Structure 1
Amino acid sequence: MSEVRVRFAPSPTGYLHIGGLRTALYNYLYAKHNNGKFILRIEDTDQTRLVEGAIENLINSLEWAGVKYDEGVFVENHKVIEKGDYGPYIQSQRLDIYKKYVEELIDKGHAYYCFCSKERLDEVREEQKVKGLVPKYDGLCRSIPLEEASMRVANGEEHVVRLKLPHDLDIKFHDLVRGDIVINTNDIDDQVLMKSDGFPTYHMAVVVDDHLMKITHIVRGEEWLPSTPKHIYLYDAFGWEKPEYVHLPTVLNKDRKKLSKRQGDVSVEDFREKGYLPEGLINYLALVGWSPEDNEEILTLEEMVEKFSFERVARTGGIFDKDKLDWVNGHYIRSSSVERITELAIPYLIKENYIDEKFASEKEEWLKVLVDTVKESISYIAELPEKVKFIFNEEVEPEDDNAKELLEGEHVPQLMNAIIEELNKVESIDMEYAKTFMKTIQKATGIKGKNLYMPTRVAITGSEHGPEMVNILYLLGKDNIIKRVSKILNKN
């Protein structure tokens, strides 16, 4: 078998969709599993949809996610460059190549010039709809002799080039996920191959590029399945060896509808901004439509490479379950070092105006304790500020009636006074002092157990449950605790 070569070929029309990242990931896993090559090609033939900076964003998202490719389009020193022996890897730089192959198809009788106006095509389609037919080109220009058509082209008449599909031919192919598929040419349109602006359509460019770049397996979304017979026909028309096809199930939301911006986060950038870890997102995304034989759910990229096969990819759409993503990502947060999570958390704390850059550089140890205090309870980094706001807020209020009730006990004033008295004996609270503080209060007052801990916690945090008390005492510090405790005393 020749070397496995796969490609991810997005259009630079905005941010990388989560479904696109999964397609790239499956390409990567299959290539690496087979010691093959993974290529990034940019398909920008639809010039109307291009977005400034989208190529850089795509590459940046793949890089962040750890989905590394071997050749194609890269960004180095803020410049888009290409590496590899089969370039250019950006379609708009390959127009002469497509022109040559379109002319070859016309010469062989597999394509023809079409001069129909947009208005005529719209009328034909409307008529077909009224008759209950599938709207498609009616073949008016198929019968124009090549000599006549060439003269009209030479005279500057506006035209496109269409694929000349034979009538009533079964086109068969095997899909590694879906099995054997047969589609009759009567159900397919005479596809435009070259537009009037001299740019090829996806269908023409993709076949030429995949052949010239020696792509062995085409791994893409199932929305391209109806187009595959046209591509198969083009391979046959050129006399080229066909690649293997793999059409992946769509990534769906919980309502089993296609994941779209209307329902929330769909781009890699969205998840990155919320502070999902790349390994968490990639691990979860791999499982949206694929599962390893041992059904293991927590997998490193290396383990995925080792276990990946298309036999284990589902035929039906994979459900993108945010709760499951949060569970997987939470696992990776808990497994990460406190140093790493602290570094990631700092921008979120700055954004909430809890800290500034100066504070972040001067209070490194304090921030690590802050992060360590809530690290177990977050699913993604953007949740962290909400979990620690009680540390930064000027004042805290009891969060519910139960919490209020805990501050109404007869012993509470004695407890609050003892806390103030004890804190006034020290300059500040360090971790060692925080570890013995509650025992000291117990000795001084004789109050213990729930009667000691619960009112103290509510007084300084507003909640009867929460993180490690030692950490809270250290993080709040002497002045904040005295201020909060004094407020309770004043109310009683």
Structure 2
Amino acid sequence: LRWLGLTWDEGPDVEGPHAPYRQSERRAIHEKWLGKLSAAGLTYPCFCTPLELSIARKQQLTAGKPPRYPGTCRELTEAQVAERLAGGQAAAIRFRVPAGRIVEFTDLVHGPQRFATDDIGDFIIRRTDGSTAFFFSNAIDDALMGITTVLRGDDHLANTPRQILLLEALRLPIPRYGHVALLLGMDGAPLSKRHGALSLGDLRRRGYLPAAIRNHLLRLGHTCSTDRWLDDAAMLEEFDLARLGRAPARFDEVQLRHWQKEGVAQLSEDEFRAWVAADVPAGLPQDDVAAFCRAIRGNVEFPGDARLWAEVVFGTLPPLAAEAETTVREAGAEFFATAAEVLDGAADFKSAVRQIGQRTARKGPALYMPLRAALTGLLHGPELGPLLALLPQREVRARLERARSLAQA
């Protein structure tokens, strides 16, 4: 999250008035509030096994009923509980959900919500291994830490009435809840690995800029008033709970790449140079590095793109791409002989190209494409003049001679 540029005012590694913040360090706090529920008679031990619960669930679904805990252990006597514990049976702790109630709240995204407690059923708040369940620990921590607004995925919408019941029972403050639609792939299915590597770690390794990801995320499930690039201050101004959509947003990497290009354009010269530094040969004069970065930045989407152009400019030109070779052959040997003669020692690239065009009766793509193919091995890329200025004259001559020989063969 720090790499992404998302920082927190209070919490782990920042600390604050509500420490500790790691759930693993808050067990004693959770046990204290669990004890309050137990003292009020609002919990009971449950000895049902996963198999027994699975069978009950299937029976309810077959009968067309919503799956909920059937209350098997709800009315066990103290003696029955003691006997099972003495026999080594593991027990979870369930919360007694009051019968016949309607839990109501207004969701910040989905509007008014109503849940019948008779459809909820008693739920586990401490597992058999002693750990507390999400419904419980999350609600307690939010209340004790003064959280007033909770935004989370709408897969947690059904958890909200459970948490409200817990907080009411403990007389703790209840925050406002908003449930945001989950992201889907472009095929409308839930995001998964088959949609590509989508973790933050994967995006980072692929070279995405944090600010580009932030600009994209702000627009997933949230409407902005502008399509322009937003810095952090502008994002804060743009974000509005009223603009959160109810329909699931679809993750489209084409859109993310759009913001990546915008992000690269926003980098200063120093930031861009630092961003591609690992893909530029070490030991080059700083002036050459600066000129190289200025020449290629319009054609760089990810840091690794700079590696290709660094090899073209500072390395040995690899064999021509198939399309580039075809273009060279079609231009003919005489074209490259003329180009070598004119470019040898030329001070101004544009003037030299005009002269080549006049002498060979070529213009536009017919003039520039063969030159680009011969000098870079590719048919597309950065403006040729700035790249050529970084190439030693002997290398320019060698590449044009290779093209002439290829065209003559």
Q: TM over 0.5: same fold?
A: yes
Q: What does residue 247 of structure 1 align with?
A: 179
2:273/2:290 contact within 8 Å kept:
yes
Q: Does 1:149 align with 2:81?
A: yes
Cα distance in 2 for partners of 1:433, 1:385 equals: 27
Distance 1:433 1:107 in 2: 88
- Structure 1 CA distance, aligned partners of 2:85 and 2:146? 33
Structure 1 residue aligned with 2:370: 455
Mapping of 1:280-291 within 5 angstroms? 280-291=212-223
Determine the structure 2 residue equivalent to 1:9: none
Distance 1:365 1:437, change over 3 A: farther
3-state SS of paired residue (1:65): coil
Kept in 1: contact 2:221–2:249 (CA 8 A) = yes
Deviations 1:166-190 (A, max 9, x none): 2232111111111100011222232
- What's 2:2 paired with? 63
- Assess if the C-alpha contact under 8 Å between 1:175 and 1:246 holds in 2: yes
**Equivalent in 291, 297, 320 of residue 369 of structure 1:** 291
Q: 1:480 aligned to 2:400?
A: no
Distance change (3 Å), C-alpha of 1:383 and 1:183: farther
Equivalence for 1:325: 256
Equivalent AA in structure 2 for residue 279 of structure 1: A
What are the Cα deviations for residues 72-119 of structure 1, in whole angstroms up to 9, with x where unaligned?
A: 112xxxxxxx51111111111111111121121122122111122333
Q: 1:235: how far off?
A: 1.0
Give the conservation status (yes or no) of the 8 Å contact 1:390–1:396. Answer: no
Cα distance change, pair 304–125 in 1 and its aligned pair in 2 (3 A): same
Give the 3 Å change call, closer, same or farther, for CA 386–100 of structure 1 in structure 2: same
Deviations 1:233-266 (A, max 9, x none): 1111112221100111112221122222221121
SS at match of 1:397: coil
Give me the whole-angstrom Cα distance separating, in 2, the residues matched to 1:408 and 1:73.
65
CA gap of 1:142–1:446, structure 2 versus 1, over 3 A, is closer
Secondary structure of 1:67's aligned partner: coil
Partner of 1:233: 165
- Equivalent residue for 1:212? 144
SS of corresponding position for 1:269: helix
TM-superposition CA deviations, 1:242-292 (whole Å, max 9, x none): 110011111222112222222112111211122221111101110101123
Q: 2:336 aligns with which of 404, 416, 420?
A: 416
Instruction: For residue 262 of structure 1, give the secondary structure of its aligned residue in structure 2.
Output: helix
Q: Name the aligned partner's letter for residue 340 of structure 1.
A: E
Following superposition, the deviation at residue 156 of structure 1 comes to 5.8
1:185 maps to: 117
Q: What are the Cα deviations for residues 133-192 of structure 1, in whole angstroms up to 9, with x where unaligned?
A: 443322111112357536755786421100111223211111111110001122223211
> Does the C-alpha gap of structure 1 residues 97 and 463 become closer, same or farther in structure 2, counting only changes over 3 Å?
closer
Deviations along 1:7-30, one digit per CA (max 9) or x if unpaired, are xxxxxxxxxxxxxxxxxxxxxxxx
Partner Cα separation in structure 2 for residue 377 and residue 174 of structure 1: 49
Size of the aligned set, in residue pairs, is 405
Instruction: Indicate whether 1:300 and 2:231 are aligned.
Output: yes
Q: What TM-score, normalized to structure 2?
A: 0.88
> 1:180 aligns to what SS in structure 2?
strand
Aligned-pair CA distance for 1:325: 1.5
Q: CA RMSD in A?
A: 2.8
Q: Do the aligned residues in 1 keep the contact of 2:328 with 2:403 (CA within 8 Å)?
A: no
Name the TM-score, length of structure 1 as normaliser.
0.74
Residue aligned with 1:360, SS:
coil
Partner residue, 1:73: 12
Counterpart CA distance in 1 for 2:174 and 2:50 is: 33
User: Which amino acid in structure 2 is aligned with residue 135 of structure 1?
Assistant: P
Q: Distance in 1 between matches of 2:136 and 2:382?
A: 60
- Which residues of 2 match residues 31-50 of structure 1 at below 5 A? none
Instruction: Provide closer, same or farther for how the CA distance between residues 144 and 334 of structure 1 changes in structure 2, counting only shifts above 3 A.
Output: same
Aligned to 1:168: 100
